[in-house]
Structure 1
Amino acid sequence: MNKEIIQKIKNDPNYQELISKRNGFAIKLTILMLSVYFAFILTIAFDPSVLGTPISEGSVTTIGIPIGMAVIIFAFVLTGIYTKRANSEFDDLNNKIKDSVKES
């Protein structure tokens, strides 16, 4: 890529907005996922009896199994949320940047 084009893209206000919004959103989702994951792991480490409690009397399955599955499903949901926003808002900004570079 030509250095002039790279500089033009970096100076584009739409590019600055894209980077700012995308990074901010990704950091928020990352913190959210890490909080849920570490809460689960720390519960296992410091109070395993909470997650080791059977779901019902005489059951082999503990409450930790559905909670662990919920952590995994939560990761998929966050991925879907990011993808939805990336396919709408972030792609729109990306297309604006491409159009401004083509015009010049």
Structure 2
Amino acid sequence: MEKNFTPEQIEMINRIVFAHIDRMNEKAAEIVEETERAAHHELQENGIDMTDFSPANKSFLMVTLIQNLIDRVHGGDMTVAQRLITMEAKRLNVSVNE
């Protein structure tokens, strides 16, 4: 069943949804930073020198999060997984056929 929204309703929906998406992204960034700090601290407490290398750095943590979210979205459906990866590659203007 298709919903017919007025332009005003569409504007309100977009405003509300994207405001929540912005807050979600802020929380995710905070969680990544907290995770990095906590992992770094625990590694140091266990005698691992973190001066030159951080195994729980922000980039690694964000990629891990992205992988987990993509897996949740496609749920094992490789057609959906391929579509997701293709859409993201197009968004970034990169080739996945190299």
TM-score (norm 1): 0.39
* Structure number with bigger Rg: 1
TM-score (norm 2): 0.40
